Amino acid sequence: METLKLKAEIREKTGGLSSKKAIYENKLVPGVVYGGKDAPVAIQVKNNELLKIINNESVFNSLVELELADKKHNVVFKDVQKHPSKNIFIHFDLQKVSKGTKINVTVPVVLTNQDKCFGVKIEGGVINHVLKELSVIADPDNIPEFIEVDMEEIKSKEKVRLSALEKNSSYSFPKSLKNQDPVIVSVLTARGGAMLLEDEVEEDADAVEGEEATTQESDNEKAPEENKPDNSEEKSE
C-alpha cells in the first residue's frame, strides 16, 4: 500500500470566522487530528495540496504521512467535507495511527469477471451490486486496496454474502458485520421481460443493516483515550 504525504501547520485560531477567512481568503482548509493520548490538534493545509491527495482513489484506505511542526505522524483520513457548490474543501478529519494497533477503514468491493458471470451470460440475469464498500480491521501497513468478489460462477438468483468471501489473514471484518452477514452482490432473474425484485428489496435491507452494524461496531470498539466519537483503532491481538 502506497504511503501518501501531506504537509500541515498548526491552526492557532479556531472558530467560524477564522475558519471562513482561512478557506476563502488564504486558500487554507481547516482540519483536526484525533487519536492517541494527546488532545485533538487543530491544523490547516493548502487547498490545492489537499486536492492532490484527495484525488487519489484509495485515500480513505491508505496510510498518510502527516508532517506537522517538524514531526511526522502516521494518520488515516476519516472525513472530508466539500463546499456544495464550489470546488473547495471546508474541513477534514484525520485519525492518528500508532504502532501495535489495528484500524477500522472502509475499502471498496470490486467485482471481477462480470462479463463471464454464468447468471448473466447463460441465464440472462442482471448483477445487483448491493454493498460497494466494506469496513475492515487491519494493520496500518497492511490495509487492503479492495475486497474482490469473483462473479464468474455466480448463477441467477444466487447471493454472495460476507461469509462467502475468502478468509484473509491480513484483515478481518467487524464482529457485528460478520453477525449480520449481509448480501454483497447477487444476480437478479429476468422473467417475462421484467426483473424479479423480491430479492433486490431484501438485499437493500441487508445493505442498510450492514451499514448500521458497521457504525455500531465502530462505536463499540472506541478506546477510552479517543477524543472523537468515530474511533478507528483496535489493539492487535
Q: What Cα–Cα distance (Å) separates residue 120 from each residue in 3, 104, 116, 188?
A: 38, 34, 8, 9
Stronger pLDDT, 162 or 226, i.e. the higher one: 162
Boundaries of domain holding 60: 4-97
Based on the domain organization, do 64 and 126 belong to the same domain? no
**pLDDT over 50 (residue 84):** yes
3-state SS class at 6:
strand
| pLDDT band at residue 235 under the 50/70/90 scheme | very low
Based on the domain organization, do 57 and 32 belong to the same domain? yes
Assigned domain for 130 exists = yes
Based on the domain organization, do 65 and 119 belong to the same domain? no
- Residue entry with cell 477534514: 92
Check residue 120 and give its pLDDT.
Answer: 95
| Residue pair 47/65 in contact by the 8 Å Cβ criterion | no
Q: What Cα–Cα distance (Å) separates residue 38 from each residue in 48, 75, 178, 187?
A: 28, 14, 32, 48
CATH of the domain at 87: 2.40.240.10
Check residue 16 and give its pLDDT.
Answer: 66
| Residue pair 130/184 in contact by the 8 Å Cβ criterion | yes
Based on the domain organization, do 109 and 214 belong to the same domain? yes
Check residue 234 and give its pLDDT.
Answer: 46
Check residue 111 and give its pLDDT.
Answer: 98
Cell numbers representing residue 102 in the block = 489495528
Cell numbers representing residue 234 in the block = 483496535
**pLDDT over 70 (residue 43):** yes
Number of domains in the chain: 2
**pLDDT over 70 (residue 41):** yes
The per-residue pLDDT for range 130-189, each reduced to its tens digit, is 999 999 999 888 888 899 999 999 999 999 999 999 888 889 999 999 999 999 999 998
Assigned domain for 229 exists = no
The chain-wide mean pLDDT, for the chain, equals 81
Residue at a domain's end among 70, 97, 124: 97
Based on the domain organization, do 86 and 111 belong to the same domain? no
Stronger pLDDT, 175 or 52, i.e. the higher one: 175
Based on the domain organization, do 20 and 92 belong to the same domain? yes
Check residue 60 and give its pLDDT.
Answer: 82
Cell numbers representing residue 62 in the block = 491508505
Assigned domain for 237 exists = no
Assigned domain for 62 exists = yes
For the stretch 197-205, contacts whose Cβ atoms lie closer than 8 Å and that sit 24 or more positions apart, written own/partner, are 199/128, 199/157, 199/159, 200/128, 203/128, 203/130, 203/159, 204/130
Distance CA 227, CA 107 (A): 24
DSSP output for 164-226: GSPP-TTEE--HHHHHH--EEEEEEPEETTEE--HHHHHHHHHHHHHHHHHHHHHHHT--TT-
Distance CA 156, CA 186 (A): 8
Name the percent of the chain lying above pLDDT 90: 44
Stronger pLDDT, 140 or 204, i.e. the higher one: 140
**pLDDT over 70 (residue 107):** yes
Distance CA 73, CA 84 (A): 30
Based on the domain organization, do 92 and 115 belong to the same domain? no
Check residue 209 and give its pLDDT.
Answer: 55
Based on the domain organization, do 91 and 118 belong to the same domain? no
What are the start-end ranges of the H helices in the chain?
16-24, 47-54, 118-121, 175-180, 198-220
| pLDDT band at residue 236 under the 50/70/90 scheme | very low
Based on the domain organization, do 131 and 199 belong to the same domain? yes
Contacts of 128 (CB under 8 A, 6+ apart): 185, 186, 187, 188, 199, 200, 203
